[in-house]
Structure 1
Amino acid sequence: MTRAALFQLLRSQSKHLSQRNLHSGYHLQSSSALIDKTCGRTSSFVSRLSAVQKRWASQATTREDESKISIGPRRGQEAEEDEKDVAYVGPISSTIKKVKLLSLSTCCLSVSLGPVITFMTSPDMNVILKGAVASSVIFFSATTTGVLHWFVSPYVHKIRWKPGSDSFEVEIMSWLATYIPRTIRFADIRPPETNRPFVTFKANGSFYFVDQEHCQNKALLARLTPQQQESAFKNL
């Protein structure tokens, strides 16, 4: 009898412990599920809120752009139209501009600071000799700047042309390193007829140079150099 009572007591205690473990496990599982669900709702709410903020910002920017009064096409439309019309871009256009800016800055510094430095560095030197030195520095700097402009002035930096049009627009660089647009008709193109280097054609009394190796538009190149095309055809 004592052994049977002890066995029943142990059995009831084990059932009670198993029920408590199951109950506590259920509570832990339900609480973890609740936490995961809450975190998921929070993250989804944050993502939706950020998406709404981005949408509002884009709409506000668009409304501001549309509310502004502008003459002509928008910036994006104008850039797209310009890129469509561009048929040629000079391969060393940026390099030429940097060199011209450097030459202009050196010339300005030599003209403005050359005489001051010459007259202040050597107080014992003759005034006439100082003037000759300052004039020589200014003359050398201005001469190199002028020669550089003469050498690169025919260089065509950009050509805009619509296929089928009888004229095209070129961009050349002034002596102040600014781009100057010019409209040229194909009927005004003439052979250069000069020994000047880097000249492709002549139009309205001005010389122009186009890098034929980097001109991808062969139809435009054929119309810019009709004499070369005719001679090549005759040689064939």
Structure 2
Amino acid sequence: MLRTLNIPQEYITSSANFATLMHIDSQICASHVSSLHFRHSSTAPSQDLQVYHGQLTSQIRAVKLFSLTSSVGGIVALPILANEASRLDNVALVLGISTTLGVFTFLTPFMLHFITKKYVTELLYNPQTDKYTAIVYNFFLRRKLVTFHADQVTVPDVPGIFTTFKANGLALFVDPSLFKEPAHYARIMGYDKPLDYKLNKVTEDKGGTDK
């Protein structure tokens, strides 16, 4: 599997620039190979090794727990408040209270889940199976396991919001600085693979086609 790098034609025309690119790429690959000490032999322990821990895990858990608790309370209180507001004989006030409570009860949990569902709280690596397991929270704050091999990772050319890479088609977000071993991040992102230099050819319009 090759990494593709689009390079403008005018940049390659300079031999010095091209030599610099080749030198940088060789340094990246060499650095990655030298740091791959996590490739254990078949006698390695079978337990998963934690290679990443999300710094915002506790905060996300607390916010989602508060949101879900508030939603349950809102569902219970909504009929009571609607009944009390109806006695005021004020339609505008009833609609205002119902709308406000409905937003906090139903909309907020879905918005929080949309933002945080990609956040990887923990990333584990199994030396025997050579697979990673990303842990994220689902809507009901339960741990969801996403197991994948490094070859199953795709990195979008234009990453979406809160998306670092995709594993098995699922978008995931990680902070590169939080990896205990940077070599794992380099491997997942495909930095250990050779570059496939694609030159962007500039086509000039000569005002006609050659016959």
- Answer whether TM exceeds 0.5 for this pair: yes
Once the two structures are superposed, residues 78-120 of structure 1 have per-residue CA deviations (whole angstroms, 9 ceiling, x without a partner) of xx975x6111111121111011001111122222212312321
Selected match of 2:178 from 202, 214, 220: 214
1:192 correspondence with 2:174: no
Which of 94, 113, 117 is equivalent to 1:130?
94
Please state whether the residue corresponding to 1:183 is helix, strand or coil.
strand
Larger relative strand fraction: 2
Q: Identity percentage over the alignment?
A: 25
Residue 123 of structure 1 aligns to which amino acid in structure 2? R
TM-score by length of 2: 0.61
DSSP-derived class of the 2:83 partner: helix
Q: How many residues align?
A: 153
Higher Rg of the two aligned structures? 1
For residues 208 and 116 of structure 1, the distance between their equivalents in structure 2, rounded to whole angstroms, comes to 41
Q: Distance in 1 between matches of 2:151 and 2:158?
A: 20
Instruction: Determine the structure 1 residue equivalent to 2:13.
Output: none
Partners of 1:121 and 1:191 in 2: CA distance: 52
Are 2:80 and 1:116 equivalent residues in the alignment? yes
Structure 2 unaligned regions, length at least 5: 1-44, 196-211
Gaps of 5+ in 1: 1-79, 232-236
Higher relative contact order (Cα pairs below 8 Å, separated by 6+ residues): 2
More helix by share: 1
TM-score, length of structure 1 as denominator length: 0.55
Q: Which of 68, 85, 91 is residue 55 of structure 2 equivalent to?
A: 91
Change in Cα spacing, 1:195 to 1:133, as seen in structure 2 (3 Å) is: farther
What are the residue-to-residue correspondences of 1:1-236 with 2, within 5 Å?
A: 85-121=49-85, 123-126=87-90, 130=94, 133-163=97-127, 165-194=129-158, 196-226=160-190
Instruction: Give 1:193 deviation, angstroms.
Output: 4.4
- On the 8 A contact 2:46/2:128 being kept in 1, the answer is no
Runs of 4+ in 1 over 4 A off after TM superposition: 126-129, 227-231
